[in-house]
């Protein structure tokens, strides 16, 4: 007997037909004698519909606390409906909201972090031989307010439960049957991977691959949770295993990712002196703005420029933070550009293979695509290109490395 944690996304439970499909997947593992905990997202477009309704009531922007109260209702609907579907199969089941399952979080509404899971209720329900259905992406803070974890947070809920209860298997069901070398909807020659390391998956998730939430992969790596990514529509098809060490020989490039949710911000004419970068990024950190690529120009005539990227939804907050420092920084001006896209290659094998960057740049040159910005690490290379060239760039780079 094993403990299996399964997570199903919104598309997997979008309607009654799919609810019963998921119920039968759960039934199959339960009848083998396994303990089963299931984490579920809101059905289909429910979250988006709730957000739209909120802004129709308050066009100026609802508070994050009230938004968490509202959008957490989507998961409450899906867990109860799935539990009802499982009941029709004659199986014992109980649905739990995040707080009932013991999720204790900090108080950063809409982007809350899990502090701990008080797992007594989960263990008690498993001891009763119940199938446990848990609302993903939500918990409770010290004020007894509902908090949510941000987009993709149900993945994080599932991994957190698997880590806390030391589950034998954590399966993430999506609308694709595994992790591919690129988005198969854009790149026709994309290939499904049998295995991928936590580090490679974390980079791909952070860089725009939408198969797994990056926070969930980070947590899986930290706690040694092995993941399997597979499709709820073809559950018998072997998926992709995400784990610390893969058995296959290292390939140079494991995947290529595209991220269109990028804004580039440049602060022009900063004083070329110590402490300037600290002032800029400390202010951004205080505003909870996550910064990705950072570039600083060589100082000329006593000034320098700093360029960095943020997600589009944090662009305004970043610019406001910088403008608040205008008196102390005394820069010339701030410019931003949202018509950019980040193309990245990821692979632990590039550490020991020279010439990877040159090969990537050659692919973009051959496709007549201009590179605006370059950023590198030990296992990734990212470039910014014009958003109109994004899909061509993704295909060109993928074809160069993966055949």
Please name the residues in contact with 147: beta carbons below 8 A apart, sequence gap of 6 or more.
68, 105, 106, 107, 108, 109, 110, 112, 138, 139, 140, 141
CA angle, 362 then 363 then 368, to 5°: 90
Distance of CA 239 to the CA centre of its chain: 18
Tokens standing for 274? 């110590």
User: Which residues of the chain have a pLDDT value below 50?
Assistant: none
Burial class (CB in 10 A: 0-12, 13-18, 19+), 213: buried
Element containing residue 304 per DSSP (H, E): strand 303-310
Q: Are 113 and 97 in contact (CB under 8 A)?
A: no
- Residues shown for the chain: 403
Nearest 10 degrees: Cα torsion 167, 172, 173, 179: -140
pLDDT of residue 250: 56
Among candidates 69, 95, 74, which has minimal Cα distance to 14? 74
Tokens standing for 51? 């957000």
Burial class (CB in 10 A: 0-12, 13-18, 19+), 344: buried
What Å distances lie between residue 289 and 121, 206, 215, 303, CA to CA? 36, 15, 16, 25
Integer Cα distance of 46 and 52 in angstroms? 10
pLDDT of residue 302: 86
Q: Are 132 and 38 in contact (CB under 8 A)?
A: yes
pTM score:
0.83
Integer Cα distance of 170 and 243 in angstroms? 11
């Amino acid at each position: 007997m094993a403990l299996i944690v399964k997570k199903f996304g919104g598309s997997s439970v979008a309607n009654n037909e799919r609810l019963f499909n998921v119920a039968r997947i759960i039934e199959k593992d339960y009848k083998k004698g396994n303990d089963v905990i299931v984490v579920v997202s809101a059905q289909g477009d429910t979250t988006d519909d709730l957000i739209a309704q909120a802004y129709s009531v308050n066009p100026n922007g609802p508070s994050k606390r009230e938004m968490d109260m509202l959008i957490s209702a989507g998961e409450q609907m899906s867990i109860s409906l799935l539990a009802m579907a499982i009941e029709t199969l004659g199986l014992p089941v109980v649905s739990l909201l995040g707080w009932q399952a013991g999720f204790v979080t900090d108080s950063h509404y809409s982007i809350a972090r899990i502090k701990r899971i008080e797992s007594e209720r989960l263990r008690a329900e498993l001891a009763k031989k119940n199938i446990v259905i848990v609302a993903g992406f939500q918990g409770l803070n010290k004020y007894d307010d509902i908090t949510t974890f941000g987009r993709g947070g149900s993945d994080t809920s599932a991994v957190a439960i698997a880590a806390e209860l030391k589950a034998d298997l954590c399966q993430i069901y999506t609308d694709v049957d595994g992790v591919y070398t690129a988005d198969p909807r854009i790149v026709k020659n994309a290939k499904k991977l049998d295995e991928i390391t936590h580090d490679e998956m974390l980079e791909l998730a952070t860089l725009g691959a939408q198969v797994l939430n990056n926070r969930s992969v980070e947590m899986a790596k930290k706690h040694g949770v092995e993941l399997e990514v597979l499709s709820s529509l073809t559950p018998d098809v072997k998926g992709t295993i995400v784990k610390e060490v893969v058995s296959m020989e290292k390939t140079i490039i494991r995947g290529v990712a595209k991220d269109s949710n990028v804004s580039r911000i440049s602060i022009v004419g900063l004083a070329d002196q110590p402490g300037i970068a600290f002032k800029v990024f400390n202010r951004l950190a205080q505003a909870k703005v996550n910064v990705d690529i950072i570039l600083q120009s060589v100082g000329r005539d006593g000034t320098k420029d700093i360029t960095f990227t943020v997600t589009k939804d944090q662009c305004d907050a970043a610019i406001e933070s910088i403008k608040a420092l205008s008196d102390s920084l005394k820069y010339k001006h701030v410019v931003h550009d949202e018509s950019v896209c980040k193309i990245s290659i990821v692979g632990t094998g590039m550490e020991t293979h020279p010439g990877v960057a040159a090969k990537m740049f050659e692919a973009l040159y051959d496709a007549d695509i201009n590179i605006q910005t370059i950023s590198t690490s030990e296992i990734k290379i990212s470039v910014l290109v014009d958003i109109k060239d994004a899909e061509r760039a993704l295909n060109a780079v993928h074809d160069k490395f993966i055949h």
